[in-house]
A and B are shown apart, each in its own frame.
Chain A
Amino acid sequence: METRRVDYDVIVVGGGHAGCEAALAASRMGVRTLMITMNISTIAQMSCNPAIGGPAKGNLVREIDALGGEMGMAIDDAGIQFRMLNRSKGPAVWAPRAQADRLGYSVRMRCALESQEGLEIFQGMVSSVWAQGDSIGGVETSTGRRIACHTVILTCGTFLNGLTHIGLESFPAGRAGEFPAVGLTESLVDLGFEAGRLKTGTPPRIDGRSIDFSQTEIQNGDSDPQPFSYRTKSIRIEQLPVYLSYTSPETHLVLSSGLDRSPLYTGKIVGIGPRYCPSIEDKIVRFKDKEHHQVFLEPEGRQSREYYVNGFATSLPEDVQVRALRTIPGLGNVRITRLGYAIEYDFFPPTQLKSTLETKRIQNLYFAGQINGTSGYEEAAAQGLVAGVNAVLKIRREEPFLLDRSHGYIGVLIDDLVTKGTNEPYRLFTSRAEYRLLLRQDNADRRLMRYGYRFGLISNGQIATLEQKEKLISNLIQQCKKVKPAPEMINTILKKLKTTPLSSRQSLYQLLKRPQIHLVDFRTVKEVDRLLDHLGDLCKDVVEQVEIEIKYAGYFQRQMEQIERFRNLEQKCIPETIAYQTISTLSKEAREKLTKIRPISLGQAARISGVSPADISILAVLLEKGVTDKKVPRGTN
């Protein structure tokens, strides 16, 4: 390691969801860590909707938790409504989602940071970073303080040259009412980084006392709320409802009347916004025929009377926002507490990163979260965790932590970012995961917890529980194959479940393949009762895993085969020193893209847009021949 004197091992710039996980992971792994945030009071602030989870995002939180991250526990503590989405679908797309107490979540996370040994927090604005050779040196704050460190993790959210828009008015701000971060982008561009500009938006918030809830639909939480964290035993709180209303053609008329003062439609906003989360004005313009759009009224917290108008993101002028909202049933007399706005901010195309989230250009400099063009708290947190872990592994000169697309949603997220980049705020969807049947929220612990344990982020107790659970699962599956209840013992149960009775003995394994049947249905069978009793505390989890594995065995088997084929290409490593520019047989575009992205495997190369199958065949031939072939040009080693 360098003998250079440093003040900290790791400095995390930013106190959002990426910054929190990065700082916690690094300090928990035992390195001296400093988090610099522009405002300690807004640590882990939910800038947009007060909710965590949902399809794909819920899986991410479970994965973060399995790796020893904080987000799952924080939302379990600060949630005010819990729902498992997609329950009518298969287990792979079940998605936990929770409404959060916005302030409560922030306080909960700040508490975790402040009580973490080895982690210090400082309020200030980092205005530049400096490099020493091709390595990061440290950061400088706007007050001129220079802090030297081994590693910098930048998690700046929407603050880099943030510019908010309401109608034709615009204000430099990182979030409504907060300062933007200036100087840092320029400092990074000076170091050779390429920057881009994105846009996102948020809806108005309203005074709950001005809502007529009788005109809305109520949406309650689940009666059996499921925790996000493997460490949370159960959730016992009084849940708050969410309310649902709809826009009408009249609303759309009002909105249309304001388009001439829309920063989006007058060309004032240059950043690209997300297609999956369009503003309400965007929705009515792009989908003219749709007469109603859903509007969710989500409580901001237990202590607050504010409601968040989800589905109504807008940057239209103030008067239009008020008039449009008042056409919505239940909001006839509504008072806005905070206006909706759009924000433009700088990001750094993530193709400039390695899969560890370290930049290719400057060693020991990591980017995580919205600075990489993503959106969403969960996406940010996942990147923060990965960056934090890898920063420490690099300091320790250990093998990096890399998850591929078959390991988890985190792998999908990072591979998409560093391989394909993004030109709109990137959000994870389950459809982005090729192997999602196996990347379920119910098995994140089985997939990933051992990594967390290896990094010291998962306790001995937790890993012991996992080992025990694994043992019980395989044991129970064996038993299910052996136990064959007599038809006369279970036929009445089968009839009650509306499934064909048996004429001869069949194993539990065979029986469980039927969708209607669950193990608990056979509790009256003595052998089954004994099996279940044997499972103790882990009964629910173990039975869930066993039933899923048995019911979908055929599909899982085929998905495993797909993964094997995928890994074939992933394992064909491309040497880092390969000089694509001198391989004349590659297409020009492929040469440029490959040089820029520098994929680590043939599989990753194949996912780069602009790299054709022909290019891949050529690379495959080169690799096959062994890069020792004299005719294959190599870079300097």
Chain B
Amino acid sequence: MKCNDTIAAISTPPGEGGIAVVRMSGTSSLSIIRKVFRGKNPIQKNSKGQVYHGWIVEKDEPIDEVVLTLFHSPHSYTGEDVIEVSCHGGLFISRRILEVLIQYGARPAEPGEFTQRAFFNGKMDLTQAEAVADLIRAKTESARRVAIYELEGHLSGRLQKIREDLIKICSLLEVELDFGEEDIMFVSRKEIKHLLIKTRGELQHFVDSYRRGKVCREGIRMVIAGRPNVGKSSLLNGLVERERAIVTEIPGTTRDTVEDVLDIEGFLFTVTDTAGIRETQDPIEREGVRRTEKVLDISDLVLLVFDGSESLNREDEMIVRRVKEMRKPVIVLINKIDLKQQINIHKLKKWFPDEEVLRISALKKEHVSRLVQTLKGTAISGGIPHEGEVLITRARHKNCILHAIELIKKAEASLRKSMSQEFIVMDIRGALDVLGEMIGKTVTDDILNQIFSDFCVGK
């Protein structure tokens, strides 16, 4: 197993700052730090955690004045001996310290390895571990909020609550089987049905939250589409510049689609400007169109741009058809309102009876703020977690819960067919097992414990 060695990494983000932290975890943490640390007090392993002041040295040459924080196993994040070296900020010093640690036996940590160890050492369950991974990668405030919420075990907690409800239902059914001779008021099938439907509804709620959870975690993928020369690029520039929020130009995107990231009040939008869609014989341009369609395909939202200064033509019509086929949410934009308007708005409204139609001038920045408001509204209705709401953000969780729902439906079907309790319980137990896998619990004696606490049994 890998976990026999000791890992180290710079834990603070790159860049200038007051202090930086280099973290080390593993069985050799203490022996390594003893070799490179000179302080007034010798490092001891005797209590839960300690703080030491001193110098990190390399062959007696001081590198930096630091504060060490020791977390002894198992009372640490990873469950192993963890040492945090707080040094002066700046990449140079922290790198030097990391190099020294590695020189004396530590190994550079791989991404997420501290969390992985925490998981392997039973310091957190799977949902918590995954939440940490999300937290590290959280791009925006709302994603961070979801991640922190999961980390605190809220997802586990909510699922645990649902599991308890299912265990309760099982116990109500089981008691009739094992204690049928007893003088017990058995619960009616109607009530069992209500309980099952209620629980299934709660699980469904989790699944529904997946889309919003995904939006929080990954942001909204938005595509600017339209025929060539309707002002798509200036719209992108307008949007991005206005919010002064260009994060990076993500490398590796295709030559003909340009992608930018936009943060609107904590919501992440990935905006892709596309090559104009039109029918063409030119093989290169055809490839561009193909890629545009691919981007459209994975998008969450389409900004469909029309040139207000020209009348609608066959190319516009073709794009509308394509976009409508995709059945994506669309915001219709009439651009270039600063010019003389030729566009047949009537026709456009007929094509998009339910969609919002905004009139802007990307170049002159007219009404762009209105677009931003609309985008924010879209994000809120589609993605913001309510205060205290738990969202499902991972496909693994979603699939587990969907599986559980499937099984509960089977139990309901058995109930409808008036099957005996043991057939109904079979699938509820299946659902319990599936949910248990998510948060790492097994059913075993839970049902019996429930029976013994609720019913007076025993002749």
Contacts and interface: CB of A to CB of B under 8 A. Distances in A.
A609 B459 CA distance: 30
A618 interface: yes
B4 A614 contact: no
Given A89-B421, A434-B429, A590 B122 contact: yes
Nearest to B436: A613
A294 B121 CA distance: 50
B273 to A, nearest CB: 44
Nearest to B26: A584
A56 B177 CA distance: 10
B423 A555 contact: yes
A55 B426 contact: no
Contacts of A431: 170, 174, 177-178, 425, 447-448, 451
Nearest to A435: B426
B420 interface: yes
B3 interface: yes
B411 to A, nearest CB: 11
B456 A618 contact: no
Among A274, A437, A552, A585, find the residue whose CB has the most chain B CB atoms closer than 10 A. A585
Contacts of A562: 430
B458 A86 contact: no
A85 B181 contact: yes
Interface in A236-285: 246, 274-278, 283
Contacts of A296: 459
Interface in B405-429: 419-423, 425-426, 429
Contact of A293 (B183, B442, B447, B452): B183
A430 interface: yes
Nearest to A618: B120
Contact of B180 (A86, A287, A588): A86
A85 to B, nearest CB: 6
Q: What is the interface of chain A mostly: helix, strand, loop, or mixed?
A: loop
B440 interface: yes
B286 to A, nearest CB: 48
Contacts of B430: 562
Given A276-B452, A276-B458, A420 B422 contact: no
B281 interface: no
Contact of A56 (B126, B178, B425, B457): B178
Contacts of A54: 181
Contacts of A290: 456
Interface residues of A, number: 59
A363 interface: no
B188 interface: no
B448 A283 contact: no
B341 interface: no
A90 B422 contact: yes
A584 B423 contact: no
A35 interface: no
B422 A584 contact: no
Given A276-B458, A607-B442, A90 B120 contact: no
A454 interface: no
B41 interface: no
B228 interface: no
A446 interface: no
B74 A588 contact: yes
A283 B183 CA distance: 13
B27 interface: yes
Given A275-B452, A587-B122, A612-B122, A89 B426 contact: no
Interface string B120-134: 111001100000000
Contacts of A585: 1, 3-4, 120-121
B182 interface: yes
B109 to A, nearest CB: 16
B458 A286 contact: no
Nearest to B421: A89
Nearest to A612: B122
Interface in B125-166: 125-126
Among B420, B429, B442, B451, find the residue whose CB has the most chain A CB atoms closer than 10 A. B420
A547 to B, nearest CB: 15
B1 A276 contact: no
B47 interface: no
Given A310-B459, A587-B122, A631-B1, A558 B426 contact: yes
Q: How large is the interface on B (under 10, 10 to 19, 20 to 34, 35 or more residues)?
A: 35 or more
A505 interface: no
A352 to B, nearest CB: 20
Given A290-B456, A614-B120, A55 B177 contact: yes
Contacts of A85: 180-181
Contacts of B426: 437, 555, 558-559
B458 A277 contact: yes
A71 B448 CA distance: 27
Given A276-B458, A436-B422, A614-B440, A55 B178 contact: yes
Interface string A61-99: 000000000000000000000000110111011000000
Given A89-B177, A562-B430, A615-B122, A293 B440 contact: no
B444 A294 contact: no
A122 interface: no
A90 B420 contact: yes
Among B183, B422, B451, find the residue whose CB has the most chain A CB atoms closer than 10 A. B422
Contact of B420 (A93, A274, A287, A583): A93
A563 to B, nearest CB: 12
A294 B420 contact: no
Given A89-B421, A293-B456, A585-B1, A614 B121 contact: yes
Nearest to A617: B120
B456 A93 contact: no
B71 interface: no
B119 interface: yes
Interface in A553-585: 555, 558-559, 562, 583-585
B112 to A, nearest CB: 15
Contacts of A432: 448
A72 to B, nearest CB: 21
Contacts of B79: 587
Nearest to B453: A275
A293 B459 CA distance: 9
Contacts of B27: 584
B1 A86 contact: no
B104 to A, nearest CB: 20
Nearest to B129: A614
Contacts of A88: 420
A260 B3 CA distance: 58
Contact of A92 (B74, B122, B178, B422): B422
Nearest to B80: A584
Among B4, B74, B178, B457, find the residue whose CB has the most chain A CB atoms closer than 10 A. B178
A275 B174 CA distance: 16
A584 B3 contact: yes
Contact of A292 (B183, B437, B448): B183
Contacts of B177: 55, 86, 89, 93, 430-431
Nearest to A283: B456
23 contacts: A54-B181, A89-B176, A89-B420, A90-B423, A93-B177, A274-B458, A276-B457, A278-B458, A286-B456, A292-B183, A293-B456, A430-B174, A430-B178, A431-B448, A432-B448, A436-B422, A587-B74, A590-B122, A609-B444, A612-B440, A613-B126, A614-B126, A618-B1
Q: Which 5 pairs of residues, A with B, have the shortest CB-CB distance?
A: A90-B420, A613-B440, A311-B459, A89-B420, A587-B122
